[in-house]
Amino acid sequence: MVRRAPNGETNPEARPGHATCREPAPLAQCATSGTTMKTPLPQACLCLLLAGLLPGCQTGEPVPAGELKTRGVYTTLAPREPALDLPPGAWVPRSSFGPGETPAAVALGYGTHLQPEQITLELVETASGRTLLSQDCSLPFGKALVRPLPIRLSGDYRVRLLVRGTEFDAACFTVRRDATPVPPATDYARGVFTVNVEWAGGPATPDYNHALVYSLVNAVIRESSRAAPSLFVQRPPGCVVIQAWLDAQGAVTEPRIAQNTLDSDCGAALLQSITSHSPYRPWPEEMRRRGPGPQPIRITIRFD
């Protein structure tokens, strides 16, 4: 099993005194079997806080009008600089976000001078009751934890803050997107990519095929991380099939989408992930003896 961070690289070490998130399980897990490799879609660490300003959403102590919450969770507009380190009181609460606006979750008021507080934050889609994200986080004393929330669909959402399994606070917010509202009862994909390669000109050697699939799935991880944060969020399962040629130097040429059950944006992002990391490993001598010309390949990328 090969483990990768959401961006395909190892996670940077947390800086002392800064709020950090700890994933309950690696966000990228790759497993190979034959010509198949699976890896979860990179997902952002969800450490959220929302001031429960809407009726029925706040479970902590009420906050008087005009005052900022000093303990609990609330939402704000996501900063343009992810590493922006502002004091806890600098984040202005907001409960409504329009097209082009990314909400961010803010959590604060936990931990002691000697020990950070271990909390769990969950993002829930109100209409369906689905839990979209759930993360364990470490929150140092006197710090605010701020993380953008990748949300693709219009609708109402709720963030829950739990300590040792008990809800301490919760808050609601609304997102308006150009896309349609939350679809009814369709299960979303879990965020797992499966990559499979078929060789029309004859099978590749097992070692080369494994290496190629490994490189392709890492390319998908990196490019999906660089795409719009909400591109692969709240989507039902689907697949994209890409036909191309692979020459002896490992270069992919003439790629085209032969099938796409996601949408055009997802298809374009996955096609870009394959072409932008070309060339791949050159053929071994055993494959070169079959002929110098490129071989047609069929790459199936499933999203489950």
Q: Is the pLDDT of residue 166 over 90?
A: yes
Q: Is the pLDDT of residue 7 over 70?
A: no
Distance CA 252, CA 33 (A): 23
CA dihedral angle for residue 36, residue 41, residue 45, residue 50, rounded to 10 degrees: -140
Per residue in 222-233, pLDDT (tens digit) is: 888 777 778 888
What are the boundaries of each domain within the chain? 2-43+191-303, 72-175
One-letter amino acid identity for 238? G
- Tell me which residue of 86, 66, 19, 71 sits closest to 46, measured CA to CA: 19
Instruction: State the pLDDT at residue 203.
Output: 79
Contact 252, 278 (CB under 8 A): yes
Instruction: State the pLDDT at residue 5.
Output: 39
């209409």: which residue's tokens? 127
Q: Is the pLDDT of residue 182 over 60?
A: no
Instruction: State the pLDDT at residue 226.
Output: 79
Q: Count CA atoms within 13 Å of residue 204 on its CB side.
A: 27
Helices 264-276 + 206-226 axis angle, to 10: 130
**Average of pLDDT values for 198-208?**
87
Q: Which residues of 84-106 are buried (b: 16+ CB within 10 A; e: fewer)?
A: eeeebeebebbbebeeeebbbbb
More reliable by pLDDT, 92 or 80: 92
Per residue in 102-115, pLDDT (tens digit) is: 898 899 999 888 89
Instruction: State the pLDDT at residue 39.
Output: 43
Which CATH superfamily, name and number, covers 72-175? Macroglobulin (MG2) domain (2.60.40.1930)
Q: The whole model's pTM is what?
A: 0.63
Residues ≥6 apart with Cβ < 8 Å to 218: 4, 8, 277
Instruction: State the pLDDT at residue 117.
Output: 92
Beta bridge partners, 263, equal none
Q: Is the pLDDT of residue 94 over 80?
A: yes
């343009």: which residue's tokens? 80
Residues ≥6 apart with Cβ < 8 Å to 138: 19, 20, 21, 22, 116, 117, 118, 119
